[in-house]
Amino acid sequence: MRLHIIELVYLAAAMGFALSLKWMSSPPTARRGILAGEIGFVLAIGATLALPGFTNEGYIYIAVALLIGSAIGVPLGLLVPMTAMPQRIALSHSFGALAAALVGTAHYYLETTHLGKFELAVLGFEMLLGFLVFTGSLMAAGKLQELLPQRPIVYKGQNATNFAVLGAALVLIIVLVFQPGATWIVPIIAALGLAFGILLIVPIGGADMPTVIALLNSYAGLSAAALGLVLNNKLLIVAGALDGTSGLILSIIMCRAMNRSFRNVLFGAFGAVDETADGEAPTGAIRSASPDEAAEILKNSRLVVIVPGYGMAVAQAQHKVRELADALAKEGVEVRFAIHPVAGRMPGHMNVLLAEANVPYDQLYDMEDINPEFPQVDVVLVLGANDVVNPAARHNKGSPIYGMPILEVDKAQTVMVVKRSMRAGFAGIENELFYDPKTLMVFGDAKKVVGDLVNEVTGARDRVSL
């Protein structure tokens, strides 16, 4: 009886998860979505604790573990700056995956004798996936946090190695299926999974990390679902399936936006390798301007479009940017924000940053909506964006980003680019836009430069209003 009530509570929890994703479909309902998800988890945990067979010491351990977990989780959730979001997400992925992997392993050792072929196969798959996502996510986090080299690390026979490792793991799983008692196999599978996770990420450039993270998310979902199959726990299955599809869709969307073949990313390295080959470097003189010159031009224009990029995130310049937009608006200048789907390091990265700075989200324009309008735009202010405004994507077949849809800022009357140097963006390629005669480079840290611009503009207004 009790078991059945628990099952029903699980059902409620599953519905809660589904609702939480459904409600993410619009900002007004999104908060409710979180609530639904949280309720789902509370129900899930409560019901689980009500399961029979828990020992008293077990409950104590659980209490301690939950406390420790929360103690670490709360700061991780609240203190991490928005700019560190991608690595933050990657990191906590690794935790979830680790848990899944360990549960699978423990289950194997506890139930060894009672496991059927199907369960063993799924279990092996689940452990492999779990450990793989664990190290993979750690690697991804490291690369994004720049603890590890961003650039792809490639060596001869790389694919061979990867396939070998993967193959070995699969073979061992098959062996396990037919020799359930061969407990020595499991640690090896685990080791191979851990190794494969690393090998898989090593050759992938930083620019692909977000895609990889979404993909790892979907793997994590799969392993959760697999665990659910083994434990015959439908809640795990549902949550895993929802999670898996979501990760999958997000990575597909990202690939589209960067027009990378999904296959490439799906198999991680295997193909992403040539990502960083340079197109022929553009040359010529560049025009640079000082903030006060820039401010002059800005406040004498009718329509200004601000294109934020990863640089704004690094510089934490979003609040200053908001001030600038307001100041210009006061000057009677119309200001819009153009958001490239993969600007920054996560899908929607810029949206979150600008939201943090209280920029109303209906002031942000998607690429499709704004591109046709650039010819009417007086000034485009490119703030620490680079690849997403690189015209090479349109015409330079040699360029690695060729074909990726970009914000066509070079169609505007004037382009101002705020960045610290001539250094390349994440894709690691030159950007001819900077050499375009209509382009003005304003060198410096985004936050600093924008701050100056604000002062110039407002200062100017004060004089006027005398």
Ligand X SMILES: NC(=O)c1ccc[n+]([C@@H]2O[C@H](COP(=O)([O-])OP(=O)(O)OC[C@H]3O[C@@H](n4cnc5c(N)ncnc54)[C@H](OP(=O)(O)O)[C@@H]3O)[C@@H](O)[C@H]2O)c1
Pick 96 or 405: Cβ nearer ligand X = 405
309 is in the binding site of which of ligand X, other proteins, none (Cβ under 5 to 8 A by kind)?
ligand X
Residue among 344, 326, 271, 350 at smallest CA distance from 450? 326
Part of the chain binding other proteins (CB under 8 A), chosen from 24-32, 164-172, 268-276, 425-433: 24-32
Pick 102 or 271: Cβ nearer ligand X = 271
Residue 249 engages other proteins in binding (rule: CB under 8 A): yes
Residue 231 engages other proteins in binding (rule: CB under 8 A): yes
Main-chain phi, psi angles of 305, to 5 degrees: -115, 125
Structure token digits, residue 61: 């351990």
Could you say which residues in the range 443-462 bind ligand X, by CB under 6 A? 445-446
Q: What is d(CA 464, CA 46) in angstroms, rounded to the nearest whole number?
A: 65
Residue 113 engages other proteins in binding (rule: CB under 8 A): no
The count of chain residues that interact with ligand X, using the rule CB under 6 A, is 33
Pick 124 or 311: Cβ nearer ligand X = 311
Give the one residue of 196, 219, 426, 434 binding ligand X; rule: CB under 6 A.
Answer: 426
Q: What DSSP string describes 280-346?
A: PPP-S--EE--HHHHHHHHHT-SEEEEEE-HHHHHHT-HHHHHHHHHHHHHTT-EEEEEE-TTSTTS
299 is in the binding site of which of other proteins, ligand X, none (Cβ under 5 to 8 A by kind)?
none
Could you say which residues in the range 138-197 bind other proteins, by CB under 8 A? none
Give the one residue of 27, 81, 149, 167 binding other proteins; rule: CB under 8 A.
Answer: 27
Main-chain phi, psi angles of 445, to 5 degrees: -65, 135
Residue 349 engages ligand X in binding (rule: CB under 6 A): yes
Residue among 270, 247, 269, 359 at smallest CA distance from 312? 359
Contact 123, 111 (CB under 8 A): no
The amino acid present at 310, given as its one-letter code, is Y
Residue 415 engages ligand X in binding (rule: CB under 6 A): no
Residue among 448, 58, 151 at smallest CA distance from 290? 448
- DSSP conformation class of 375: G
- DSSP conformation class of 17: H
Residue 241 engages other proteins in binding (rule: CB under 8 A): yes
Could you say which residues in the range 372-411 bind ligand X, by CB under 6 A? 384-388
Contact 231, 257 (CB under 8 A): no
Q: What is d(CA 234, CA 301) in angstroms, rounded to the nearest whole number?
A: 60
Q: What is d(CA 251, CA 302) in angstroms, rounded to the nearest whole number?
A: 38
Give the one residue of 235, 382, 383, 392 binding other proteins; rule: CB under 8 A.
Answer: 235
Give the one residue of 114, 397, 423, 463 binding ligand X; rule: CB under 6 A.
Answer: 423
Residue 103 engages other proteins in binding (rule: CB under 8 A): yes
Residue among 101, 51, 54, 131 at smallest CA distance from 230? 101
361 is in the binding site of which of ligand X, other proteins, none (Cβ under 5 to 8 A by kind)?
other proteins
Residue with nearest beta carbon to ligand X: 425
- DSSP conformation class of 235: H
Give the one residue of 109, 155, 178, 184 binding other proteins; rule: CB under 8 A.
Answer: 109
Q: Which active-site residues does the annotation give?
A: 387
Q: What is d(CA 374, CA 121) in angstroms, rounded to the nearest whole number?
A: 56
The amino acid present at 460, given as its one-letter code, is A
Least distance to other proteins, CB of residue 329, Å: 11
Contact 349, 85 (CB under 8 A): yes
Count Cα atoms within 13 angstroms, Cβ side, for 169: 26
The count of chain residues that interact with other proteins, using the rule CB under 8 A, is 122
Q: What is d(CA 14, CA 45) in angstroms, rounded to the nearest whole number?
A: 12
Part of the chain binding ligand X (CB under 6 A), chosen from 94-102, 111-119, 273-281, 304-312: 304-312
Residue 329 engages other proteins in binding (rule: CB under 8 A): no
Pick 9 or 355: Cβ nearer ligand X = 355
Part of the chain binding other proteins (CB under 8 A), chosen from 155-163, 265-273, 284-292, 359-367: 359-367
Provide the mask over 58-97, with x wherever binding to other proteins is found by CB under 8 A and - wherever it is not. Answer: xx-xx-xxx-xxx-xxx-xxx-x-x--x--xx--xx-xxx
Q: Which residues bind ligand X (CB under 6 A)?
A: 207-208, 210-211, 254, 258, 309-311, 314-315, 342-347, 349, 384-388, 418-421, 423, 425-427, 445-446
